[in-house]
Chains A and B, each alone.
Chain A
Amino acid sequence: MSSESIALGTVIESARPIGERLHDWVVTVDHKKLGILYILYALFFLVVAGIEAIIMRIQLIVPHNHFVSPQTFNRMMTMHGTTMIFFMVMPILFGFGTYLIPLMIGARDMAFPRLNAFSFWMTAFGGLLLYFSFIGGNGLYGAGTAPDVGWWAYAPLTSRAFSVGHSTDFWTLALLVSGIGSIGAGVNFIATILCMRCPGMTLGKMPLLAWLNLVVGGMVIFCISPLTAAQIMLCIDRYLGGHFFDTQAGGSAVLWMHFFWIFGHPEVYILVVPAFAFVSEIVPVFSRKPIFGYPIMVAATIAIGFISFSVWAHHMFTVGMSAYGNSFFVFTTVAIAVPTGIKIFNWLGTMWGGKILLRVPMLFCIGFLFQFLIAGLTGIMLGTAPFNWQLSGSYFVVAHFHYVIVGGIVFALFGAFYYWYPKMSGRMCNETLGKWHFWLFLIGFHLTFDFMHIPGILGMPRRIYTYEPGRGWELWNLIVTIGAFFQAAAILVFVVNLLWSLRKGEPAGNDPWDAWTLEWSTSSPPPDYDFATTPVVRSRRPLWDLKHPEDPDWKYE
């Protein structure tokens, strides 16, 4: 199907001047280059926000520490949260989606290549705006500061009375601008997946990664819009004398919470569904079996997409809703555990009876399964409103959502890195370094986030820059900080591996994992045009059909 290529001129890439090559990257509309740009941009912010996390953990290593001032700590916590959500996890997932979707559905590019480039550069501009606040936050009044309102920016802390200067405005504008980029990416995902599939690829024969990203695209459009609206309302409050959230003039603090969380909870699924997508591609290949229950996996994802829009107020169990309101959101919240549980069972069903190959991508996926299981269960605890009245706003919640985002999403992401790196670079990642990365990160993750649950149960609220001795919190905070350094070391190994393998890694060939989806049928890295001839598929695993003509999938689907 695929080893053919098209001759497009004879200039060898490395022979061209560096300026010209960089220029190519800036003006590119190629989905592969944009995908890689997204990923590199997000990795940069992973390091930046990681450093912010380390600063916070050093401050909290002992009670009454003086490593940073309360003002600095509050800025670090705001920037860490905002950066990780909006400028690390989201762009990196969009990056993988942008890179992989056309390759997996047999297309030559996204539906709207220019919109694709526009979306990336808007996201990039948003991140720069946010970080510009470090030098421009207080305008002419001082050296400048970053925003310090927390990543939820609850009203009325963001009103002019409590947030002077421009730091909050940089936060608002950064999210507004990058939100436009996200909506662009969502539209593009939907259009590409619905309109650009190769002949034979009906919706029911798409790889799960495409299906899951289709759901993500829909969720992005519906959940980023309220966030964008809220940011505009906040701008109106701050500059045009509006009173949406200005409580001193009769505005509503709770209104902001509703706007923020009707964005915020679907956002969690926007982040985790692409991680599900990676796992749904990697687990079958390394178990040597097709995904178990493909139609149910699709249905469960769509169910999650819908239900995720009805659970937002479980972030607001402590704001004093009525008993009926609380009960409703308890119901929707525990209900979403059903489709999520189905997914976990189906991944286990895929592994069951297979021949599991414990290469690095699979190790990360098994880590994902273990940690996402625990994250889901602590999620159920938090979903039962009375338990939530104790745990919400405490370190237990912090541990819970880091279990989702780091233990779940980031583990799946690392799995995706090791799995698709050969496709993107043409070289294999070093397996030994990969294993070091996995084990160091696993130990660091569990030291940090397992023990972080405990101070929450013992009454330690989140977002405090220091704490009182004698409340039984010291030991746990010390262990958590030690774990953070293990994680930092693991990230260092990861970055070294990426750079080393780019030069010295073994050449990958088209299909190093003996996999089944279309991206493995073209060369590594793929040519500009992805496929020389448009592929034609008959089943969900076109390369399986090719490799096993005696027992093709299309006979059974």
Chain B
Amino acid sequence: MRKASTADADSEVRQARQVRSLAREVAAIAALLPGVLLAATLCFGAPADPSQIPSIFRPQSTPANSILHLSLLVLAITGAIFAVVFSLLAYSVRKFRQRDGDDGREPAQVYGSNQVELAWTVIPILIVLVLFLATARVIHSIQDAPKPAGAIEVIAIGHQFWWEFRYPTLGVVTANELHVPASNPANSTPTFLTLLSADTDHSFWVPQLAGKTDLIPNRSNHIWIDPQETGVYLGQCAQYCGTQHAKMLLRVYVDSPQQFDEWVREQKRLWVSNDTVAEGRRIFETTACVNCHAVAGTVADGRFGPDLTHLMSRDTIAAGAAPNTRENLRAWIEQPDSIKPGSLMPAMQLNEKDLEALTDYLETLR
């Protein structure tokens, strides 16, 4: 009796020690992560404005929404698999770990079991079938959605390193900032985009509106969006396209139907001649600017760079790399590399006076 109780006490002490050491390990790991998080939060001060975070978990359009629902199903299934398999792993390591004072004998040698093998083959096959059917349904609902009569058509063309947007039925051309009307369930006005590329591969990705689709030369791809909340949705090129892939940013403005009609009217207005900037206009039209840029109603009709007819209606320049202010515009013309090193816009080597005049002219392109 006495002997047995000593052994019990010993094993209790040993267990207690093991538990303590395990607790210490867990505490160390648990302390490390929040410590890192806290330090990082302190470094960065206040967190970002949540409405500016392009999270795939805050969808604002039907395709992004269907994807989210599928994602939640997939996450639930994979989460359950993780819980089961991880528990088995953790349990085996804990339970079957060789203890101190082991008798040194080999454990029972088990070579396998056909029943068990069959079970863990058939169950995964069933899970795979469920996953496949659910996925195929969502693929079909997004890719084969019919185009309603009220749909807006846009041709998006990827360039190194900016976006060209053409509205063939509305006669509007713009760049980098896509405007679309908000759609409502009663009177659906989705936007159908045809995706083309002028040079290398790009990818159109605005996570809150739809999954990404590539823009590939010699190929036309299609996606659609039907955002219902007005606002600005951020995205960027998601297929490596060259030096400035990082600054090929994308902004989608979802306007109310009235705002959108107003925007279209403004975009179709031609430039009104203005004598105070005649010198700037002369510089623009007699230097290489016109080889790449267009201003509707003037001799400038280049298509290599963004259409500048309504440059000042846009919030950003250089594909979202900088806010559209006078200083940035001037800096961009003087030395594009200061904002976006490796962009294809050359430095125009203008003197101070010409630079001012040219900036004055560009600021009239409303």
Contacts and interface: CB of A to CB of B under 8 A. Distances in A.
Interface of A: 69-71, 74, 148, 150, 154, 156-157, 162, 247-248, 250-254, 287-290, 292-296, 318-320, 322-323, 326-327, 330-331, 334-335, 337-338, 341-342, 344-346, 348-349, 351-358, 366, 369-370, 373-374, 377-378, 380-381, 384-394, 443, 447, 457-459, 461-472, 474-475, 478-479, 482, 548, 551, 553, 556-557
B111 A330 contact: no
Contact of B135 (A74, A250, A384, A472): A384
Contacts of B131: 334, 380, 384
B342 A384 contact: no
A385 B213 CA distance: 12
A342 B117 contact: yes
B141 to A, nearest CB: 9
A238 to B, nearest CB: 16
B18 interface: no
Contact of A380 (B44, B74, B107): B74
A377 B211 CA distance: 20
Interface string B60-79: 00001011001100110110
Contacts of A318: 203, 211-214, 238-239
B112 A157 contact: no
Contacts of B276: none
B352 interface: no
Given A355-B98, A459-B234, A556 B89 contact: no
A334 B112 contact: no
A303 to B, nearest CB: 10
Contacts, number: 300
Given A330-B135, A341-B124, 7 more contacts: A162-B200, A288-B107, A320-B219, A334-B135, A377-B82, A461-B205, A463-B246
Interface in B134-156: 134-136, 138-140, 142-144
Contacts of B64: 390
B207 A459 contact: yes
Contacts of B320: 468
Contacts of B128: 334-335, 337-338
B55 A381 contact: no
- B: contact size bracket: 35 or more
A371 B325 CA distance: 49
Given A385-B139, A458-B53, A320 B216 contact: yes
B216 to A, nearest CB: 5
Considering residues B124, B139, B342, which has the most beta carbons from chain A within 10 angstroms of its beta carbon? B139
Nearest to B160: A162
Interface of B: 29, 32, 36-37, 40-41, 43-44, 47-50, 52-57, 64, 66-67, 70-71, 74-75, 77-78, 81-82, 85-86, 88-89, 92-93, 96-98, 102, 106-113, 116-117, 120-121, 124-125, 128, 131-132, 134-136, 138-140, 142-144, 195, 199-201, 203, 205, 207, 210-214, 216-219, 221-222, 234-247, 249, 320, 341-342
A378 B96 CA distance: 29
Nearest to A548: B106
A380 B78 contact: yes
A461 B112 contact: no
Given A369-B89, A459-B234, A157 B107 contact: no
Contacts of B218: 247, 250-253
Contacts of A478: 40, 43-44
A244 to B, nearest CB: 13
A74 B342 CA distance: 12
Contacts of A370: 86, 89
A556 B48 CA distance: 64
A319 B216 CA distance: 8
B117 A156 contact: no
Contacts of A319: 214, 216, 219, 221
B212 A392 contact: yes
4 nearest interchain CB pairs?
A389-B211, A459-B54, A464-B246, A320-B221
Nearest to B70: A386
A377 B81 contact: yes
A157 B88 CA distance: 47
A463 B43 CA distance: 25
A352 B89 CA distance: 9
A308 to B, nearest CB: 16
Contact of B201 (A154, A387, A470, A472): A154
Contacts of B124: 337-338, 341-342
A501 B54 CA distance: 50
B96 A351 contact: yes
A367 to B, nearest CB: 11
Contact of B67 (A390, A393, A479): A390
Nearest to A320: B221
Contacts of B89: 348, 366, 369-370, 373
Contacts of B85: 344-345, 348, 373
Given A294-B112, A320-B214, A351-B96, A377 B78 contact: yes
B222 to A, nearest CB: 7
A461 to B, nearest CB: 4
A392 B204 CA distance: 12
B36 A447 contact: yes
A464 B96 contact: no
A320 to B, nearest CB: 4
B121 to A, nearest CB: 6
Contact of B96 (A356, A373, A468): A356
Contacts of A344: 85
A212 to B, nearest CB: 17
Contact of A150 (B132, B139, B240): B240
A463 B77 CA distance: 30
Given A154-B240, A387-B67, A475-B37, A323 B82 contact: no
Residue in B37, B124, B142 whose Cβ sees the most chain A Cβ within 10 Å = B124
A356 B78 contact: no
Contacts of A355: 96-98, 102, 106-107
B216 A475 contact: no
A231 to B, nearest CB: 19
6 contacts: A253-B217, A334-B135, A348-B92, A352-B92, A356-B97, A393-B205
Contacts of A463: 240, 245-246
Nearest to A474: B44
A58 B110 CA distance: 50
Contact of A475 (B41, B52, B55): B41
B81, B93, B102, B234 interface centre (most CB from chain A within 10 Å): B93
Contacts of A385: 135, 139
A457 to B, nearest CB: 6
Contact of B56 (A157, A457, A553): A457
B275 to A, nearest CB: 39
A70 B342 contact: yes
A287 B96 contact: yes
Contact of B71 (A352, A381, A548): A381
B117 A253 contact: no
